């Protein structure tokens, strides 16, 4: 009989330090709910930050549940990666590196939400000022190696989702991915996923809640087998039980040096170590493979072939930045594309939109093309901002009129399944 312990885990969730995390997601509430749900280990994984982890670990010790120090990192390609560490010291060292490669933009809490730091008494002791819902300049390849150099593990988050997922962005797992599991979201239909990604048939799928609200923490339905019930034990379990082959020492050493160099100079490998230079599939099948696996790849091909080299593509509600667009790419910093929603809520005119796209926030860019799902945007806008006290929808339709007029004034270059690419007339 195996002497391993089978424990229930939920290894992805956000506290109120993530701007999108609900204010009830205090370390105390999270750990308490995990106990109620019958979990043995959880990981707190805020976006690009880890300052609520020490409090959660402390509370976990009191309540007898393992809290694995973690972070959800957003890579340069806009892929979310779960990073887990054996102790808080290692995580905080990792945090120092991540803070250096996170763009220094102040958070707008009225729009994105506040970012609260707690102590182990569950009292607010601070607020993080910098914007956390942004891409760092670390590539996914670097992230995996970097986490391991701090004794941790990193793996792609919610690979079944349409945005911030390695599969929708790259179409495949990183070339050197060496674990044999990936994380799936709580809503993933496993049969459908297996059908859609037969190449991943040999990979185990680990479900995690990605909870932003306290009632969304996972029940005891995902188990891993560990030697010891500890953060270290969990990480070793993920690495060894779930992992089939070991990284080559030379490659590892080389990569760590390379990353240190990269971070030191503050540049990314984004252009130099391009995933498109090598891929796990034969050269001839690559385009077909990407067409089948990367959302909106037909649009990216169109953009690469038909727009001027100096074009600036603005993306909203179509799945996030694509690795394969060979143009300057701008997208809103959240999956909800708040800037545009904000404009619509103000009842912006056609001219206001025009001005917005000519002078994009936090950049010196002017958009030349817009990739958007306009109908879904309007639907989302009314889902969020519909005014119930507006008989005849006079104010409601007035608010969205500027948006409609602006897009009517553009040239529709390509349309497919609700996604539209607009350019200037």
SS3 181: strand
Distance in Å, CB of 20 to Zn ion, minimum: 8
Residue 159 DSSP label: T
| Torsion sign over Cα 206, 13, 99, 317 | positive
Q: Which of 142, 210, 332, 337 binds Zn ion (CB under 5 A)?
A: 210
What distance in Å separates the CA atoms of residue 159 and residue 175, rounded to the nearest whole number? Answer: 15
Alpha helices in 113-202 (DSSP H): 140-149, 166-169, 190-196
Q: What is the dihedral of CA 358, 361, 362, 366, to 10 degrees?
A: -20
Distance in Å, CB of 399 to Zn ion, minimum: 30
| Torsion sign over Cα 297, 299, 305, 311 | negative
Selection from 245, 269, 50, 271 nearest residue 141 by Cα: 269
Question: Which residues in the 86-105 window bind Zn ion by CB under 5 A?
Answer: none
Distance in Å, CB of 282 to Zn ion, minimum: 31
Selection from 57, 59, 42, 48 nearest residue 18 by Cα: 48
Q: Which range of residues in 85-93, 154-162, 285-293, 339-347 is near Zn ion by CB under 5 A?
A: 154-162
Radius of gyration, CA atoms only, the chain: 22
Q: Which range of residues in 50-58, 161-169, 233-241, 303-311 is near Zn ion by CB under 5 A?
A: 161-169
Per CB under 5 A, 58 contacts Zn ion = no
Per CB under 5 A, 161 contacts Zn ion = no
Distance in Å, CB of 348 to Zn ion, minimum: 29
Per CB under 5 A, 337 contacts Zn ion = no
**Total residues binding Zn ion (CB under 5 A):** 5
- Closer residue to Zn ion in complex, CB, 164/329: 164
- Closer residue to Zn ion in complex, CB, 208/344: 208
- Closer residue to Zn ion in complex, CB, 22/72: 72
Q: Which range of residues in 159-167, 242-250, 369-377, 385-393 is near Zn ion by CB under 5 A?
A: 159-167
Per CB under 5 A, 72 contacts Zn ion = yes
Give the contacts of 193 (CB within 8 A, at least 6 positions apart): 160, 184, 205
Q: Which range of residues in 108-116, 133-141, 208-216, 377-385 is near Zn ion by CB under 5 A?
A: 208-216
Residues that bind Zn ion (CB under 5 A): 72, 80, 157, 164, 210
């Amino acid at each position: 009989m195996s002497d391993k312990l089978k424990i229930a885990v939920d290894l992805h969730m956000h506290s109120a330090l993530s701007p999108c995390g609900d204010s009830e997601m205090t370390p105390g509430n999270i750990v308490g709910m995990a106990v109620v749900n019958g979990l043995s280990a959880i990981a707190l994984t805020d976006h690009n930050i880890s300052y609520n982890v020490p409090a959660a670990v402390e509370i976990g010790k009191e309540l007898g549940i393992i809290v694995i120090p973690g972070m959800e990192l957003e890579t340069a390609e806009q892929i979310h990666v779960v990073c887990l560490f054996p102790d808080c010291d290692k995580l905080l060292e990792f945090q120092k590196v991540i803070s250096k490669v996170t763009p220094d933009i102040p958070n707008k809490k009225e729009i994105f939400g506040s970012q609260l730091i707690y102590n182990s008494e569950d009292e607010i002791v601070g607020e993080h000022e910098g914007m956390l819902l942004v891409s760092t300049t670390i590539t996914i390849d670097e992230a995996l190696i970097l986490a391991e150099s701090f004794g941790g593990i990193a793996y792609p988050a919610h690979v079944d989702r349409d945005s911030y997922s390695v599969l929708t962005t790259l179409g495949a797992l990183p070339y050197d991915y060496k674990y044999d599991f990936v994380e799936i979201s709580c809503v993933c239909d496993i049969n459908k996923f297996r059908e859609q990604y037969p190449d991943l048939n040999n990979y185990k799928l680990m479900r995690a809640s990605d909870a932003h609200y306290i009632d969304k923490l996972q029940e005891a339905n995902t188990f891993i087998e560990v030697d010891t019930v500890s953060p270290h034990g969990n990480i070793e379990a993920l690495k060894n039980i779930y992992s089939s082959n070991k990284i080559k020492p030379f490659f590892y050493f080389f990569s760590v040096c390379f990353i240190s160099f990269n971070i030191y100079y503050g540049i990314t490998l984004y252009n130099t170590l391009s995933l498109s230079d090598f891929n796990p599939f034969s050269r001839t099948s690559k385009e077909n493979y990407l067409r089948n696996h990367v959302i909106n790849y037909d649009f990216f091909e169109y953009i690469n072939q038909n727009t001027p080299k100096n074009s600036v593509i603005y993306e909203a509600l179509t799945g996030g930045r694509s690795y394969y667009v060979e143009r300057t790419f701008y997208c809103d910093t959240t999956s909800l594309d708040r800037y545009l929603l904000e404009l619509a809520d103000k009842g912006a005119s056609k001219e206001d939109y025009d001005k917005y796209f000519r002078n994009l926030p936090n950049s010196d860019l002017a958009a030349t093309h817009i990739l958007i799902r306009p109908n879904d945007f309007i639907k989302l806008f009314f889902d969020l901002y519909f005014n119930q006290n507006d008989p005849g929808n006079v104010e409601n339709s007035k608010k969205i009129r500027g948006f409609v007029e602006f897009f009517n004034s553009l040239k529709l270059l390509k349309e497919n399944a609700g996604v539209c690419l607009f350019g200037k007339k």
